Chains A and B, each alone.
Chain A
Amino acid sequence: MTIANQVAAPPHVEEHAAPRAPFIAEHFEGAEHQFESGKLGMWIFLVTEILFFSGMFCAYAVYRSQHPEIFSYASQFLDSTMGGINTVVLICSSLTAAWSVRCAQLGQRKGLILTLALTILGAFGFLGIKYVEYSHKFHDGLLPGKYYHVQSEAVADVGLDASIPAATEGESHEAAPEPAHDSGHAPVEGPEPANVKIFFGIYFAMTGVHGLHVIIGIGVYVWLLVRAIKGHFRPDYYGPVDFTALYWHLVDLIWIFLFPLLYLIH
């Protein structure tokens, strides 16, 4: 009789267990098991993210080692002040993200809502500054591939010799003089090296994909904010806040590499 009950009716077995906290899936043993599984999953996902970006970092390394003149020339068109401000903005939002985890752990709902909102604000700030930078690049024709048509005033703005019109550059790039490879550290003055558009291809690919990650991060943080307002998070259930913060730190970290590699070449 008892055997039949045990075999037939699993709910009876589980009745003896403590009632489950909300949001704990039934295939986990409990809150801790779910949290640890989620955290491991997030770390593995971050590994895939690093490998995803590594393709572009690899392309960057190959082209920079083969054509340092392109990088030192084209990098002058990037606004390192704006990039620097953006770095600070993103690091601050990483701080508030870490803070939000602390608030969730301690069950401070108001603090959690505030820090999540500040993180979103920081992300929007980053995107806003990025938008200003991108629109300058669009205006100056500093675009990848076939859309590259640098305006002479942009060249003059960064203090370079604008006498060579960029329009003819594309056609005669095979005849363009090959700059010496050891000129990588000094600002390149004089004529534009061949294939500067490759730099802007890499610049837009890397910052674009990074920006996409910021946008995705905003989406996730808005979802967290809604759940925080609803009071879903408590000291025994704060996994999503923790995992998203990990993601956000990685997005921050990638920018910390992108900024010097693209903006601070001199």
Chain B
Amino acid sequence: MSTTHTQTAVATAAEPDYLSCSKGWKSWLLTLDHKRIGVMYLIAISASFFLGGLFALALRLELFHPGKDFVDGDGYNQLFTLHGAVMVFLFIIPGIPAALGNFVLPLMLGAKDVAFPRMNLASFWLWLFGAIFFVFVLASGGLDTGWTFYTPYSVEAQTAVIFAATGAFILGFSSIFTGINFIVTIHKMRPAGMTWFRMPLFLWGMYATAIIQVLATPVLGITLLLLIFERVTGAGIFDPHNGGDPILFQHFFWFYSHPAVYIMILPAMAIVSELVSVFSRKPIFGYKMIAYSSVAIALLGFLVWGHHMFTSGQSKLAGAIFSALTFSVSIPSAIKVFNWLATLYKGSISLATPMLYALAFIFLFLIGGLTGLFLGTLSTDVHLHDTYFIVAHFHYVMVGGTLFAFLGGLHYWWPKMFGRMYSARGSAIACLVSFVGFNVAFFPMFPLGAKGMPRRYWYYLEEDFISYHQLATVGTVLLGCGLLGIVVVLLKSLKNGERAPANPWGAATMEWEAASPPIHHNFHHTPAVHDPYDFGDLRFDPAQGGYARTSNATATATH
């Protein structure tokens, strides 16, 4: 037995992991390995997030006092536009699927790679290409139309609208490629024995996300193409000065961009479904309902875009129908929240850092989701439309929801990705600071908006609004400190973190049966398919410092 152990160790050492199996920048930039592409995406989107975060910080600092501190109205328009465009197109849309999903999805299937590795690399290259256009935008006069490119303003604006629209168009293709890849991979690469309802819920979430990426993104593509056409030729499709219809632009834009908010939130929900179950050491409650609700959100999400246009001049009947349909989305969302809570109930909860993020997500998503009902209601929306209430609402969903789940997933899979454990204490403190900072930054915006502060204004009435604005700015700085703390803790772990065992959390999904970090081909031999939420045969093995399957050991022994 001891000889077997040493031989295994020697042999494993002979097979380098995916990070060290080849060297040089070419081996990264031209790699077809989904894990390396995921890591490159992770670096790229984190850099974009940092850039978008700087814009946000600048916005909040400017708003600390009414009146000009360091930018005027034009500068402010640029800041919020670039903050929105960078965060939406470069960070949050590709975020979880392209970085974490790329890394984890084939591993969860016990597969060697995604179905189309070249297309996967092309997706990353398209992302880079699109990002270059955004850099051009920064260098050539900026962008001040808002990330929504509403006509007629985007036709008349003197800023680099064409560059930005081209960049977003290219990023759309990047997103479509990821979507096609994930759908085909989940359909065709599942191992024998993993039926649809034995898949980890993360895969259900990725599948639902991919459906939206594939069905909605092309519509954004053609909308932006027509916008560029409109700007170049004055074709009169969207520009009312030439007989066009600006409301048509809004319909087209939100036909993509409303489903796109589910591209942002569904992967987050998918991560939380994993985390809640693993760290409660309890099978997920209502597996099928969570799986179905992901698909339901993806499909219902296509029917509600008009709720962005209640005050735009669409017909009253359309407004009423869209309002009613909007409420239907809250049903599958609530199903998920209730199922997570039921999973926690009587679970043996461990408050590891990923779980802290999952709990933060549930809390923040609840606030974000419930305030969404105010906005989906036709009559209250007329009052709250384009106020800070909206800003608070979607930041609770996008940041409190997606970003916190992304960070939870990052902390969860970090040991698998890089083979190192981070400081549990340091990461928990950073999580807490971010959580407090986030709430201080965004909760005041609910009353601020309800009292009438419009969004996208660089100036405000001092006596009414200053305390809210200053509180929000303080919170933003705190949030920034927390996020910086996360970066420090994670980077430090790469240098001197403990070596991670294969399964540090005792999770039952397949990616934890690969080494940490995995070898180039992921698995030495395809692992057996288990119930992804049955923790019964996972026992802590002090020799490894992680969990191992007791049933596997017997299976190997009888081999």
Contact = CB atoms under 8 A, between A and B. Distances in A.
A4 interface: yes
A209 interface: yes
Contacts, number: 149
A172 B252 CA distance: 30
B11 A4 contact: yes
B235 to A, nearest CB: 3
Contacts of B12: 7-8
A24 to B, nearest CB: 13
A219 to B, nearest CB: 15
A44 B184 contact: yes
Given A8-B11, A9-B11, A13-B525, A201 B235 contact: yes
A1 B2 CA distance: 11
A139 to B, nearest CB: 17
Interface of A is mostly: helix
B237 A2 contact: no
Contacts of A27: 111-113, 115, 117, 189
Interface stretch (A105-113, A180-188, A191-199): A191-199
Contacts of A204: 235
A197 B236 contact: yes
Contact of A145 (B7, B10, B233, B245): B233
Interface stretch (B78-86, B210-218, B361-369, B474-482): B210-218
Nearest to B34: A27
A13 B553 CA distance: 20
A19 interface: no
A37 B236 contact: no
A10 interface: yes
B338 to A, nearest CB: 33
A47 interface: yes
A36 B190 CA distance: 13
B521 A53 contact: no
A114 B234 CA distance: 44
Given A41-B115, A54-B219, A194-B243, A3 B236 contact: no
Given A44-B180, A201-B235, A4 B7 contact: yes
B221 interface: yes
A40 interface: yes
Interface of B: 3-4, 7-8, 10-12, 14-15, 111-113, 115-117, 119, 176, 179-181, 183-184, 187-189, 214-219, 221-223, 225-226, 229-230, 233-237, 242-245, 248, 252, 521, 524-525, 556, 559
A9 B244 CA distance: 66
Contacts of A51: 215-216, 218-219
Interface of A: 1-4, 6-10, 13, 25-27, 33, 36-37, 40-41, 44-45, 47-49, 51-56, 58-59, 62-63, 143-147, 173, 194-195, 197-198, 200-202, 204-205, 209
Contacts of B252: 55, 58
B14 A8 contact: yes
A36 B12 CA distance: 34
Given A54-B218, A205-B225, 5 more contacts: A1-B7, A7-B525, A49-B218, A144-B229, A197-B235
23 contacts: A3-B556, A6-B525, A7-B525, A8-B10, A10-B521, A26-B112, A37-B115, A40-B183, A40-B184, A40-B187, A44-B180, A48-B218, A59-B248, A62-B245, A62-B248, A63-B237, A144-B229, A144-B233, A145-B233, A145-B235, A198-B244, A201-B233, A205-B226
A4 B8 contact: yes
A127 to B, nearest CB: 20
Contact of B242 (A13, A33, A195): A195
Contacts of B214: 44, 47-48
A55 B14 contact: no
- Residue with the highest number of chain A CB atoms closer than 10 Å, among B113, B223, B237: B237
Contact of B4 (A1, A49, A53, A197): A1
A174 to B, nearest CB: 10
Contact of A201 (B15, B237, B524): B237
Nearest to A57: B222
Contacts of B15: 8
Contacts of B11: 4, 7-9
A44 B235 contact: no
- Residue with the highest number of chain A CB atoms closer than 10 Å, among B111, B230, B242: B242
A52 B217 CA distance: 8
Nearest to A2: B559
Contacts of A63: 237, 245
